[in-house]
């Protein structure tokens, strides 16, 4: 067993190792993190674990706080308060993990206990992160049957209560026993008041917060003055927040871990270098795509025989705006320009006869919902020698074809692939993709992000290097709580700025 299986004090001791092998074994597969957790973060996590153990499901304080949900009860602070994290039913795994990390940090900051509603069978994906307790909301939670009806129009929704003035945030008399916080991408202006200091002064007194989100909302927590000081003490390196939270919270179950370790050992471990390419083809852009013919002419025709299938596909192709081809161009341009992958030689005969004695090996791990990119890249490096003599092997664990909501096996493969990407030495990721964000954060990797075809990006470059490994908060509020007007929240403090892949998003640097 390696020395630092507790990740510099980030992980608690005392768990049974066999019940969740990934927790203490991940260190075998990863390079040591260059980012050490602060001693303040470590002490806060230990205090949080003690709080969770004391107030967790079925403890005496939990049962007492549950009673407050009964009609007519006086709301009293009995030392335990909760945030119940609800899943967005149609969210992918990346969004779910990022929003869960955000709720957890909010819980730590506000001394609440985080419980998760098991909407998506999270226990087949992740181990329990807190010792001697559970983060799973009990199935007999009294208002559980209302969860599906909670939305921004619900009478219990904080934003809606503000709009309809059914609460007075300066008077404790109107304090509800629970409130629904709507922090999903289409939340409205009043929901966004959650990110104002004054509102937090009221929200903190409510014993039960039911929070639904699909966003990484941590950058906006840094903009709340009463949280900022504590946050910068917890995370002196503001660009490594998700890195620590993700490594602390997300430990794949033994089933997922088996997929990760078997794949890594069978295909990736022996190579000199490992490159992850995460391809999320959102398939909707407003730019004219490069023609398939252009692409093939540039990359393939010099090497193809006239009877080759690709050659024939090009010849017969009437599809000149193929999005797959457009992305493919960007991936290859980026990999070559940034020296991640070598060029293939135009005259293969030369190097076939002069192979280097000890060629360097590079493994490329492709993740994508379809297998087209994998086949194209693999064929390129199979059918042609490289100019450097390096041997390039290309792998793709699965191609699920489409996103499958609520299919546990699909989620298990997705988590295994996110985790495998995080074990690579270098990452190329797709813009806007939370799937890639989780991998880069867990792996402490600043990825090369493929430039999206959206008009605000620099279209001359196929990709750009992310300035930090942090995820992007795609739909942050733009509200100045003091001035009560719209303002640029990305221009307020130096380490919260706009994302490289989404100009309106917010990101920690």
Q: Which residues bind ligand GDP (CB under 6 A)?
A: 91-95, 280, 367-369, 398, 400, 403, 410, 413-414, 417, 433-435
Minimum CB separation of residue 355 from ligand GDP in Å reads: 33
Cβ distance to ligand GDP smaller for residue 57 or 119? 119
- CA–CA separation, 37 and 385 (whole Å): 44
CB-based contacts of 345, cutoff 8 Å, min separation 6: 351, 384, 385, 386, 387
Minimum CB separation of residue 419 from ligand GDP in Å reads: 11
φ, ψ (nearest 5 deg) of residue 245: -65, -40
According to DSSP, residue 429 is labeled E
Cβ distance to ligand GDP smaller for residue 405 or 461? 405
> Which residue stretches of 239-371 are H helix?
241-249, 254-263, 292-299, 309-316, 323-337, 348-353
Minimum CB separation of residue 108 from ligand GDP in Å reads: 23
Which tokens in the block code for residue 461?
């470059």
Which of 433, 401, 405, 404 minimizes the C-alpha distance to 418? 433
Cβ distance to ligand GDP smaller for residue 202 or 242? 242
Query: Long-range contacts of range 260-267, CB-CB < 8 Å, 24 or more positions apart?
Result: 260/22, 260/29, 260/416, 260/419, 260/420, 260/423, 261/25, 261/29, 263/395, 263/397, 263/416, 263/420, 264/29, 264/420, 264/423, 267/363, 267/365, 267/393, 267/395
In 138-183, beta strands by DSSP E:
178-183
Cβ distance to ligand GDP smaller for residue 193 or 413? 413
Closest CB to ligand GDP belongs to which residue?
A: 92
Minimum CB separation of residue 314 from ligand GDP in Å reads: 26
Minimum CB separation of residue 103 from ligand GDP in Å reads: 16
Cβ distance to ligand GDP smaller for residue 97 or 167? 97
- CA–CA separation, 264 and 261 (whole Å): 5
Cβ distance to ligand GDP smaller for residue 353 or 402? 402
- CA–CA separation, 509 and 471 (whole Å): 10
Cβ distance to ligand GDP smaller for residue 91 or 386? 91
Cβ distance to ligand GDP smaller for residue 151 or 400? 400
Minimum CB separation of residue 474 from ligand GDP in Å reads: 9
| CB hemisphere CA count around 464 (13 angstroms) | 15
| CB hemisphere CA count around 69 (13 angstroms) | 19
Minimum CB separation of residue 458 from ligand GDP in Å reads: 22
Minimum CB separation of residue 370 from ligand GDP in Å reads: 9
């Amino acid at each position: 067993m390696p020395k630092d299986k507790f990740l510099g004090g980030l992980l608690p001791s005392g768990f049974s190792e066999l019940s969740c092998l990934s927790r203490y074994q991940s260190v075998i597969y990863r390079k040591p993190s260059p980012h050490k957790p602060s001693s303040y973060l470590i002490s806060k996590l230990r205090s949080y674990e003690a709080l969770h153990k004391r107030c967790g499901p079925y403890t005496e304080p939990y049962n007492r706080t549950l009673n407050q949900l009964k009609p007519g009860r006086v709301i009293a602070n009995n030392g335990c308060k909760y945030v119940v994290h609800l899943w967005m039913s149609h969210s992918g795994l990346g969004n779910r993990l990022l929003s869960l990390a955000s709720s957890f940090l909010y819980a730590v900051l506000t001394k609440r206990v985080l419980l998760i509603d098991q909407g998506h069978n999270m226990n087949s994906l992740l181990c329990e992160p807190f010792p001697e307790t559970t983060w799973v909301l009990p199935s007999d939670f009294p208002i559980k049957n209302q969860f599906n009806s909670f939305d921004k129009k619900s009478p219990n929704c904080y934003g809606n209560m503000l709009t309809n003035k059914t609460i007075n945030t300066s008077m404790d008399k109107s304090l509800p026993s629970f409130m629904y916080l709507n922090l999903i991408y289409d939340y409205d202006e009043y929901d966004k008041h959650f990110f104002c200091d004054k509102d937090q002064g009221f929200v903190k007194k409510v014993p039960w917060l039911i929070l639904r989100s699909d966003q990484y909302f941590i950058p906006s927590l840094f903009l709340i003055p009463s949280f900022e000081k504590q946050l910068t003490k917890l995370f002196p390196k503001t660009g490594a927040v998700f890195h620590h939270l993700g490594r602390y919270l997300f430990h794949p179950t033994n089933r997922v871990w088996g997929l990760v370790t078997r794949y890594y050992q069978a295909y990736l471990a022996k190579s000199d270098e490992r490159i992850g390419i995460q391809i999320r083809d959102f398939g909707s852009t407003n730019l004219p795509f490069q023609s398939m013919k252009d692409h093939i002419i540039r990359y393939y025709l010099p090497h193809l025989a006239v009877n080759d299938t690709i050659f024939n596909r090009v010849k017969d192709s009437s599809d000149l705006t193929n999005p797959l081809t457009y992305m493919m161009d960007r991936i290859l341009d980026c990999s070559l320009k940034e020296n991640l992958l070598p060029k293939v030689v135009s005259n293969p005969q030369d190097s076939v006869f002069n192979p280097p004695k000890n060629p360097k090996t590079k493994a490329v791990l492709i993740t994508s919902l379809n297998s087209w990119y994998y086949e194209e890249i693999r064929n390129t490096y199979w059918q042609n020698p490289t100019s450097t003599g390096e041997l390039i092997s290309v792998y793709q664990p699965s191609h699920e074809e489409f996103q499958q909501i609520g299919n546990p096996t699909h989620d298990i493969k997705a988590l295994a692939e996110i985790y495998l990407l995080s074990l690579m030495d270098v990452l190329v990721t797709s813009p806007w993709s939370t799937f890639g964000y989780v991998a880069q954060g867990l792996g402490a990797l600043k990825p090369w992000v493929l430039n999206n075809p959206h008009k605000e990006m620099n279209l001359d470059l196929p990709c750009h290097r992310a300035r930090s490994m942090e995820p992007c908060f795609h739909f942050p509020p733009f509200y100045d709580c003091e001035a009560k007007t719209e303002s640029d929240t990305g221009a307020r403090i130096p380490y919260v700025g706009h994302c490289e892949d989404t100009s309106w998003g917010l990101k920690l640097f």
